[in-house]
Amino acid sequence: MVTRYALHHFPKIEETFKEIGRILKPKGQLFIADPTPCKEDNERFVDQYMQMKKDGHIKYYTKGEFIELAAQVNMELKAAFETPICFPRINESGYKELIKRHSKEIIEKYKVYVTEDNQYIYITQNVLNLTFEKR
Protein backbone atom coordinates (compact mmCIF):
# COMPACT_ATOMS: atom_id res chain seq x y z
CA MET A 1 0.00 0.00 0.00
CA VAL A 2 1.29 3.48 -0.86
CA THR A 3 0.22 6.86 0.46
CA ARG A 4 1.87 9.94 -1.01
CA TYR A 5 1.24 13.46 0.27
CA ALA A 6 -2.14 12.50 1.69
CA LEU A 7 -2.07 11.54 5.36
CA HIS A 8 -1.77 15.14 6.55
CA HIS A 9 -5.32 15.69 5.20
CA PHE A 10 -6.93 12.90 7.25
CA PRO A 11 -8.84 14.27 10.27
CA LYS A 12 -9.03 10.87 12.03
CA ILE A 13 -5.50 9.53 11.56
CA GLU A 14 -5.84 6.84 14.24
CA GLU A 15 -8.89 5.40 12.46
CA THR A 16 -7.01 5.56 9.16
CA PHE A 17 -4.18 3.48 10.61
CA LYS A 18 -6.63 1.01 12.12
CA GLU A 19 -8.11 0.47 8.66
CA ILE A 20 -4.67 0.12 7.07
CA GLY A 21 -3.73 -2.40 9.76
CA ARG A 22 -6.96 -4.30 9.14
CA ILE A 23 -6.49 -4.72 5.39
CA LEU A 24 -2.73 -5.38 5.31
CA LYS A 25 -1.79 -9.05 5.44
CA PRO A 26 1.18 -10.22 7.54
CA LYS A 27 4.39 -9.11 5.81
CA GLY A 28 2.32 -6.55 3.87
CA GLN A 29 3.99 -3.17 3.51
CA LEU A 30 2.93 0.44 3.80
CA PHE A 31 5.02 3.14 2.14
CA ILE A 32 4.42 6.69 3.32
CA ALA A 33 5.76 9.84 1.65
CA ASP A 34 4.56 12.93 3.50
CA PRO A 35 6.10 16.25 4.55
CA THR A 36 7.13 16.59 8.17
CA PRO A 37 7.70 19.53 10.53
CA CYS A 38 11.27 20.39 11.45
CA LYS A 39 12.33 19.23 14.93
CA GLU A 40 12.51 22.78 16.30
CA ASP A 41 8.97 23.70 15.20
CA ASN A 42 7.24 23.25 18.57
CA GLU A 43 4.53 25.78 17.70
CA ARG A 44 3.82 24.02 14.38
CA PHE A 45 4.37 27.07 12.20
CA VAL A 46 4.36 24.79 9.16
CA ASP A 47 0.85 23.50 9.87
CA GLN A 48 -0.47 27.04 10.30
CA TYR A 49 1.28 28.02 7.06
CA MET A 50 -0.17 25.11 5.10
CA GLN A 51 -3.68 25.56 6.55
CA MET A 52 -3.79 29.00 4.93
CA LYS A 53 -4.17 27.25 1.56
CA LYS A 54 -7.56 25.92 2.74
CA ASP A 55 -7.12 22.56 0.98
CA GLY A 56 -7.94 20.43 4.01
CA HIS A 57 -4.49 20.33 5.61
CA ILE A 58 -4.82 19.00 9.16
CA LYS A 59 -1.34 18.21 10.48
CA TYR A 60 2.09 17.04 9.37
CA TYR A 61 3.39 14.13 11.42
CA THR A 62 6.85 13.40 12.72
CA LYS A 63 8.67 10.14 12.17
CA GLY A 64 8.03 9.26 15.83
CA GLU A 65 4.31 9.92 15.49
CA PHE A 66 4.08 7.66 12.43
CA ILE A 67 6.05 4.93 14.23
CA GLU A 68 3.65 5.14 17.18
CA LEU A 69 0.56 5.03 14.93
CA ALA A 70 1.94 2.03 13.04
CA ALA A 71 2.92 0.17 16.22
CA GLN A 72 -0.68 0.40 17.44
CA VAL A 73 -1.73 -1.73 14.46
CA ASN A 74 1.15 -4.20 14.63
CA MET A 75 3.41 -2.62 12.01
CA GLU A 76 7.10 -1.90 12.39
CA LEU A 77 9.40 0.50 10.61
CA LYS A 78 11.65 -1.20 8.05
CA ALA A 79 13.25 1.75 6.23
CA ALA A 80 13.31 5.54 6.42
CA PHE A 81 14.88 8.49 4.67
CA GLU A 82 14.07 12.17 4.14
CA THR A 83 14.13 14.32 1.03
CA PRO A 84 13.66 18.10 0.75
CA ILE A 85 10.84 19.74 -1.19
CA CYS A 86 10.13 23.41 -1.88
CA PHE A 87 6.49 24.55 -2.08
CA PRO A 88 5.59 27.82 -3.88
CA ARG A 89 2.47 29.80 -3.04
CA ILE A 90 0.97 33.05 -4.22
CA ASN A 91 2.02 35.56 -1.59
CA GLU A 92 -1.21 36.61 0.07
CA SER A 93 -1.40 39.04 2.96
CA GLY A 94 -1.92 36.44 5.69
CA TYR A 95 1.53 34.92 5.20
CA LYS A 96 3.29 38.10 6.27
CA GLU A 97 1.35 38.25 9.56
CA LEU A 98 1.92 34.55 10.22
CA ILE A 99 5.67 34.91 9.69
CA LYS A 100 5.79 37.86 12.11
CA ARG A 101 4.26 35.68 14.86
CA HIS A 102 7.07 33.10 14.70
CA SER A 103 10.76 33.18 15.48
CA LYS A 104 13.35 34.08 12.91
CA GLU A 105 15.03 30.72 13.58
CA ILE A 106 11.92 28.75 12.56
CA ILE A 107 11.43 30.84 9.43
CA GLU A 108 15.08 30.24 8.52
CA LYS A 109 14.77 26.48 9.20
CA TYR A 110 12.07 26.30 6.54
CA LYS A 111 14.00 28.65 4.24
CA VAL A 112 10.88 30.80 3.81
CA TYR A 113 11.41 33.56 1.27
CA VAL A 114 9.40 35.89 -0.93
CA THR A 115 10.32 36.54 -4.55
CA GLU A 116 11.67 39.96 -5.50
CA ASP A 117 8.40 40.92 -7.19
CA ASN A 118 6.58 39.98 -3.93
CA GLN A 119 4.27 37.68 -5.92
CA TYR A 120 5.30 34.27 -4.53
CA ILE A 121 6.35 32.84 -1.19
CA TYR A 122 8.35 29.62 -0.86
CA ILE A 123 8.85 27.17 1.99
CA THR A 124 11.23 24.20 2.06
CA GLN A 125 10.41 21.12 4.10
CA ASN A 126 11.63 17.59 4.49
CA VAL A 127 9.50 14.74 3.25
CA LEU A 128 9.44 11.55 5.29
CA ASN A 129 9.73 8.39 3.22
CA LEU A 130 8.86 5.47 5.49
CA THR A 131 8.31 1.78 4.87
CA PHE A 132 6.38 -0.20 7.47
CA GLU A 133 5.71 -3.92 7.52
CA LYS A 134 2.84 -5.67 9.26
CA ARG A 135 4.01 -8.34 11.70
| Helices 63-71 and 13-23: angle between axes, nearest 10 degrees | 50
Q: Does the global pTM surpass 0.75?
A: yes
| Predicted pLDDT of residue 101 | 96
The confidence score (pLDDT) of residue 60 equals 98
pLDDT at position 81, please? 98
Q: What is the CA radius of gyration of the chain?
A: 16
> Measured between alpha carbons, how far apart are the two ends of the chain, in Å?
15
Provide the CATH number for the domain formed by 2-134 in this structure.
3.40.50.150
Q: What is the pLDDT of residue 49?
A: 97
CB neighbours (10 Å) of residue 117?
Answer: 7
Q: For residue 97, what pLDDT is reported?
A: 94
Map out the domains of the chain as residue ranges. 2-134
The series of mean pLDDT values per 10 residues for the chain, 135 residues long, is: 97 98 98 97 97 95 98 98 96 93 97 96 98 98
Contact indicator for 5, 57 with CB cutoff of 8 Å: no
- Distance CA(45)–CA(51), nearest Å, equals 10
Residue 93, pLDDT score: 86
